[in-house]
Structure 1
Amino acid sequence: MEYRPLGHTGLSVSAIALGCEGFTGKTPEAVRKDFDCAQDLGINFFDCYSSDPQLRSAFGEALRGRRERFIVQGHLCSVWENGQYLRTRDPVRTERAFRDLLARLGTDYIDVGMIHYIDAEEDFRAVFDGEIIQYARQLKERGQIRFLGLSSHNPHVASLAVETGLIDVLLFAVNPCYDMQPAGENVEDLWADESYMKDLHNMDPGRESLYELCARQGVGIDVMKTYGGGDLLSGNLHLR
């Protein structure tokens, strides 16, 4: 397995990481077997955006006895209400969901505390001018998260976050198709058919600028949607 430094954090993470969506519906025994396989292959990085309590508990069972072998990235502002996942900016609900995450994972800290899913500039302002960023910084000061992250699909908003100097890690959608698309606040535009009907040439300048900014600031980038949610592996995909 190849390992890479995660920005200026000092963490060394496997080039391949575990997401959590593929674990949905699996038994705790199956989840543990998947973690066994990941460990055998040298995978040491794990992202948990899901707020599903059963899934979180299964992850906790899988991590039992080997928490120190995995670098865990957990999300703030991802909550479970009325049997479904929701994104929130309410500080009370955010704190309650984070306490639940720690309890179900069986740990007292998260390596990377990821502020969940900011694509709109208005949402960015609400988070970074309000109580959520204050709470996240308090968690970092207390050692309950070691490093602060943010997830986004919008290079403009991601750049605003990096420029604050508060972000250690950026979780961002990167692949050859999305990299040609301009910044936008509607994530579904990234995979909409009409977005690929026009000629696309080279990387969008805003995305290129974001990656260069992260390199200068020492902000680590870990990647989601590497294969476009499976679209880039589909034989039905036709690009002009």
Structure 2
Amino acid sequence: MEYRELPHGGEKIGVIGLGGAQLGATPHDEAVATYVEAVRAGVNLMDLAAGHAPLFSALADALRELGPHAREGLLFQVHYGADYRTPTSDYGWTARLEDMRRSVAWELDTLGTDYIDFAFIHCIDEGKDLDAFVRSGALDHLRDLRDQGVVRHLGLSTHSPELANRVLDLGEIDLMMFSVNPVYDYGEGDYGLGTSAERQALYQRCESEGVGITVMKAFAGGQLLDAAQSPFGRALTRCQCLQYALDTPGVVCVVPGVRDRADLRELLGFFDASAAEKDYSVLSGLAPEGVAGRCVYCNHCAPCPVGINVGLVNKYYDLALVGDVLAADHYAKLDRHAGDCVGCGHCNSRCPFGVDQVVRMREIAARFGA
């Protein structure tokens, strides 16, 4: 497992976590075994927006099998708005505070825990839903729980850049669950909300403000893995999709759903995959024209003959453009700067997204003065 640090809080989060959409429908013993194997492999972030309430009893039994201190090493994303009426019910959604409190109290009691690592404003994609959440008193309730130490961080799950920015403006959240994959980032698919530029600006804002992103729908609900369903007309691999998400600014973790240990092992195979197996540069021939020429910091252009880290130079430039006051300082600390570019064109010839990095280096050098 590889880990990334949450900017606000410093928690070390495994770059692959577990989503909860499917595991609750798995036979109990297999679900328990899947959780146990995941934790022993270093997975430490569990998203608890369960598709089916039996997920909670499976995780509880896994914690008992793992030992009395297992909970201390794990991070739970608990969603205020995901509603479970009975221990066997399917997922429901609510904006009523009393329903949220009842459901979360049952979840915590089942899991045998008295604190929440990340309390999420759950699945808000429209302004009216956020307004209803606030009117219900749920946001104030989460603030109170944070002040009491019951909640360690506030979070948000959404598919909408517009709504995400509205919540970021509140200055309350430390983690955001967002749908990231190349199809959605190109404005395609059911949850491909916002333009490519709006989505990239959101990722850069999260990076600059220290709000981590946990990624849902990295495979677009499985569409990207099937050539017949893929909007690209070509299948990508799990490794390509995972690497794409992890190369996105702000991302700390990808949380795909799994059905069993076989799915889990396939995901964890990412860590044994070669760089060639993770290479998603094939997207350069599939992306719409409107997203050509945009640096995604993938560093496929490396190595630079004079040692410039082209991806980081571009990232700090883009962060500076959206108002990150620390970007210039981070840029200044790099060993090589845009002004060191000799214009050889090596990066241009290797960029899968058609970025003219020679021109970009001149722009960046002018911005930062070096």
When the two structures are superposed, what TM-score results if normalisation uses the length of structure 2?
0.57
Whichever of the two has the greater Rg, that structure is 2
Q: CA deviation at 1:234?
A: 0.7
2:7 is the alignment partner of 1:7: yes
> Where does residue 209 of structure 2 map in the other structure?
217
Q: CA deviation at 1:190?
A: 2.8
Contact conserved, 1:155 with 1:210, CA < 8 A, in 2?
Answer: yes
> Where does residue 230 of structure 1 map in the other structure?
222
4+ long deviations beyond 6 Å? none
Q: CA deviation at 1:28?
A: 3.1
Letter in 1 for 2:214: D
Contact conserved, 2:161 with 2:198, CA < 8 A, in 1?
Answer: yes
Q: With CA pairs under 8 Å and 6+ residues apart, which has the higher RCO, 1 or 2?
A: 1
* Structure (1 or 2) with the greater strand fraction: 1
Q: CA deviation at 1:81?
A: 3.5
Q: CA deviation at 1:21?
A: 1.9
Q: What's the secondary structure of 2:9's corresponding residue?
A: coil
> Where does residue 185 of structure 1 map in the other structure?
none
Contact conserved, 1:53 with 1:104, CA < 8 A, in 2?
Answer: no
Matches within 5 A, 1:23-172: 23-50=23-50, 52-64=52-64, 65=67, 66-81=70-85, 83-172=89-178
Mean CA deviation greater in 103-112 or 26-35:
26-35
Q: CA deviation at 1:8?
A: 1.4
> Where does residue 198 of structure 1 map in the other structure?
none
Q: CA deviation at 1:39?
A: 2.1
Letter in 2 for 1:120: E
Q: Deviations over 1:116-151 (max 9, x none)?
A: 100001212232354010111112112222100010
Consecutive unaligned residues of structure 2, counting only runs of 5 or more, are 233-285, 287-370
Q: What's the secondary structure of 1:222's corresponding residue?
A: strand
Contact conserved, 1:6 with 1:221, CA < 8 A, in 2?
Answer: no
Give the Cα separation in 1 of the matches to 2:158 and 2:73: 27
Q: Deviations over 1:153-188 (max 9, x none)?
A: 001101111111011110000001101118xxxxx7
Q: CA deviation at 1:24?
A: 2.5
Contact conserved, 1:2 with 1:15, CA < 8 A, in 2?
Answer: yes
Tell me the C-alpha RMSD between the 2 structures.
Answer: 2.0
Distance 1:51-1:190 versus aligned 2 partners, 3 A rule:
closer
> Where does residue 18 of structure 2 map in the other structure?
18
> Where does residue 190 of structure 1 map in the other structure?
191
Contact conserved, 2:157 with 2:178, CA < 8 A, in 1?
Answer: yes
Distance 1:28-1:67 versus aligned 2 partners, 3 A rule:
farther
Give the Cα separation in 2 of the matches to 1:153 and 1:25: 24
Identity %: 35
When the two structures are superposed, what TM-score results if normalisation uses the length of structure 1?
0.87
